Structure 1
Amino acid sequence: MDLAQTIGQRIKSIRKARQMTLKQLSETTGLSPGFLSQFERGMTNIAIDSLNRIANALSVPLESLLKIASQDKGIDVIRSYERDSTLISPHVIQFMLNSQPERFAFLPRAFKLLPLPQKQKIELYSHEGQEFIYVLEGAVTVYLEDQSTILYPGDSLHIDSTKPHNWANLSSMPALILTVNSPNPFLFLDDLRQDVDEGQ
């Protein structure tokens, strides 16, 4: 993938994170929707002044689109607007905090927890390894076997993941937590893919 394609994909990701349409970006930058669409798909090049207009419209520094300095230093930075997000349940949104999670021994993620309906049953689960939880915003109830505790911003907890556990937002406001899992479950997925490829 060349630099223009990479920048185009980055712009599309930021635009969608901003919930901005191509038409809205066109009106702000003066560039046609057709041209913007082609550039996002890597089908055309762009002048630096036009790229600067896009950066201003998206409220991001021009260098964050180019990432030249980061690439030269070999630093893989994930900007807040670039994070992959997944709705893993009606009340939990997962944010990946690195671009290649299968490369590392531990897995850091952020979760936005929406308030649960009253009287919803909390199912506990267990898995191999350990889990670290740090609350960034809101109040989060953590369940561990037959016990529970409420964590507030700045609170943290380190648990043995082989014990039945879970966490939930029982408050009336959204919460945000950082979790770190070790070992990284993506490593096992990678091993499984390799076994399948080798016919094992």
Structure 2
Amino acid sequence: MSRLKSANPTLGALLRGLRSREGWTLKEMSAKSGIPVSTLSKIEHDRLTLTYDKLLSLSQRLGLRMSELFAESDDMIEPQPVTARRSIGRLDRAVRVETANYDYFYLCTELRRKRMIPVLTRIRAKSVEEFGELVHHPGEEYIYVIEGSIEIHTEFYDPVLLKQGESIYIDSNMGHAYITAEGCEEALVLGVCSSADESLMESLMTLHGDGEVTSIKQAKAR
């Protein structure tokens, strides 16, 4: 079984590698995924990306976990003990998810079976109403404010204000929301989510609704 290797693992590269490994033509891939041939071709050549709901449908129809769409495809290979590994987190290789109120940059996505997910987030939501329902997901998380100031709303505590250089550590199973503080138009935070659950990445991606997932090569710093 061959492995997909890519210096810049875009969604297109991952789909090309999957199709090559399975020996599918574009037409066969189209029939299995429900995505038109012309659209698949554009995705494979990094000229088009997919929204989250379409990525979810793609993963279900192809029998993949969502996390497999954001890492080098080494599924069906016997797991090997990891003695030492590393990943340099660069924005130009991040998976970027854009929503109306947030931009998420998922870093170090080429590492498999991570128990920590590092995420840079630009926050624009200015109220809990704008944010929507409090979110819950497995594990714990740490948030550090790099720029601006934010308000943390949680299920069991009063809101707390965090300024640049301040941070918070919470139980992610507790409902929570991050919004900009009064007078702040946009804030930048570094979050690290951790869990013993290997499907943590998949759980996080379900929180973005219809946010657009941008291929890794297109995710540039602002």
TM-score of the superposition, structure 2-length normalised? 0.47
Q: Which has the higher helix share?
A: 1
Q: Give the 4+ runs in structure 1 shifted more than 6 A.
A: none
Q: Which amino acid aligns with 1:179?
A: G
Asked whether the equivalents of residues 102 and 190 of structure 1 are also in contact (C-alpha less than 8 Å), the reply is: no
Give the structure 2 partner of residue 156 of structure 1. Answer: 167
Q: Distance in 2 between matches of 1:119 and 1:75?
A: 39
* Residues 3-18 of structure 1: pairs in structure 2 closer than 5 A: 6=7
Amino acid at match of 1:142: I
- TM-score, normalization: structure 1? 0.51
Separation in 1, partners of 2:201, 2:128: 39
Q: Which has the higher contact order (CA 8 A, sep 6+)?
A: 2
Partner Cα distance (2:158, 2:97) in 1: 29
Give 1:127 shift. 2.6
Q: Secondary structure at the match of 1:103?
A: coil
Distance (whole Å) between structure 1 residues aligned to residue 201 and residue 131 of structure 2: 33
In 2, the alpha carbon distance for the partners of 1:112 and 1:141 equals 13
2:179 aligned with 1:179, yes or no?
no
Rg larger for = 1
Paired residues in the alignment total: 126
- Amino acid of the structure 1 residue aligned with 2:172: S
- Identical residues among aligned pairs (%): 23
User: Could you tell me how far 1:110 is from its partner in structure 2?
Assistant: 0.9
RMSD: 3.6
> C-alpha offsets along residues 92-143 of structure 1, whole Å, 9 cap, x if unaligned?
1110110225431111111111243696365213232211111111111101
- Specify the alignment match of 2:115 in structure 1: 105
Q: State which drifts further: 167-176 or 134-143.
A: 167-176
CA distance in 2, matches of 1:112, 1:143: 17
Match of 1:125 among 132, 135, 142: 135
Question: 1:159 and 1:113 mapped to 2: Cα distance?
Answer: 18
Q: Distance in 2 between matches of 1:94 and 1:80?
A: 11
> Measured at CA, do residues 157 and 91 of structure 1 come closer, stay the same or move farther in structure 2, by a change above 3 Å?
same
Aligned to 1:35: none
The structural deviation recorded for 1:183 is 0.4
